[in-house]
Structures are given as C-alpha cells and as structure tokens.
C-alpha cells in the first residue's frame, strides 16, 4: 500500500464505496487485497482508498471466478495489466485470450464428464464388474482422498472404461 497523494482525492473510493458500487462485501474487498488481486492507498487517517479502475478489476475477478478461473490464475493475469493507468481494450483482449485456452480445457473436461455421467446413470449397473464407479473394498483409497473415477484421468486398475 502506498501513501495517498493530496491531488488524487477526487479519483479515489473508500472501501465502502468500492464494495457498494461493485456489489461485493467489504470483507471480499479486503480478501482480494490480501491476496494481491487489487491494491489500495492510505489517506492521512490510514483509511484504505482505491482508484476507480479497481471497480473494473473487481468486476473481472467476479466474472472470472463465476466461470471457474482460479484465484491464482486471476492474480497472475491481473499482475500483467498496467498499474499506472486504466487497462485499455487491448489489455483486456490479451487477458481474454489467455483465459480462452483455460476455458476451452474446462469445457472439454465438462463435456467428457457429462458423457461419463450419462453412461453411468444409464447403465443400470447390470454388470458390477464393468461399472466405472464400482470400488470394492475401497481399493482406490490408496490414491488419496477425493473423487478418483468420474472426472479424472486416472482409471481404476484392472477395469477398462467403456467408450463414451
């Protein structure tokens, strides 16, 4: 955080104003700042102040989170945006192009998962030996916690998955 310049007063927002105008809680603004996603300055009373371009950054963060972009990716890409000026159309196009690849990968993964779920739900489990979700004796626990079959590149040992 830097010290507030007297001639910047007209262009800065308090944390409450930023929260109200961006539609997020004050605690969210503080969280974003703690994670390095946005920056503030401090006035003489040590209160946080934000430049108006922070509104756009918060909007981008919210949209990116909504579509599944990780905070780490958001931070990495926002760091590449100019700090000394409001990002322009070309800056936002570069950001969008970077996330396009990530979104395409997520879409492909979701489509694959949808196909796996359709096959699984529709199979009726007539053959428990071929069922992609069957995990007798919890044999997959050695691979760690969390889902191991659907939505994963890892296949159950000894079971061939059905073509989707």
**Three-class DSSP labels, 57-85:** HHHHHHHHHHCCCCHHHHHHHHHCCCCCC
Q: In which element (H, E) is residue 50 found?
A: strand 48-51
% of residues, the chain, pLDDT over 90: 40
Domain assignment present for 29:
yes
Q: What is the pLDDT of residues 57-84, one digit of tens each?
A: 999 999 999 988 999 999 998 888 887 6
- 91 within domain boundaries: yes
State how many domains the chain has: 1
pLDDT of residue 79: 86
Domain region containing 86: 2-126
Q: Which residues of the chain have pLDDT under 70?
A: 1-10, 84, 119-136, 146-164
71-79 and 89-123 helices cross at what angle (nearest 10)?
160
DSSP 160: P
SS3 label, residue 14: strand
Q: Is the pTM of this model over 0.85?
A: no
Establish if 152 belongs to a structural domain: no
Kindly report the CATH number assigned to the domain that includes residue 21.
Answer: 1.10.1660.10
Q: 109 vs 68, 73, 134, 139, 143, CA distance in Å?
A: 12, 18, 21, 25, 21
pLDDT in tens, 150-159: 555 554 444 4
SS3 at position 83 = coil
> Which of 21, 12, 18 has its CA nearest to residue 41?
12
């Amino acid at each position: 955080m830097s010290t507030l310049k007297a001639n910047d007063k007209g262009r800065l927002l308090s944390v409450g104003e930023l929260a109200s105008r961006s539609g997020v809680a004050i605690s969210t603004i503080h969280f974003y700042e703690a994670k390095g996603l946005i920056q503030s300055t401090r006035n003489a009373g040590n209160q946080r102040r934000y430049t108006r371009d922070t509104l756009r950054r918060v909007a981008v963060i919210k949209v990116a989170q909504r579509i599944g972009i990780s905070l780490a990716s958001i931070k990495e890409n926002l760091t590449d945006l100019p700090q000394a000026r409001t990002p322009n159309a070309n800056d936002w196009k570069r950001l969008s192009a970077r996330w396009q690849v990530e979104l395409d990968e997520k879409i492909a993964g979701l489509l694959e998962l949808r196909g796996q779920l359709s096959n699984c739900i529709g199979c009726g489990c007539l053959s428990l030996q071929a069922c992609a979700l069957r995990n007798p004796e919890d044999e997959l626990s050695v691979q760690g916690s969390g889902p191991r079959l659907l939505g994963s590149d890892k296949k159950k040992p000894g079971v061939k998955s059905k073509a989707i």
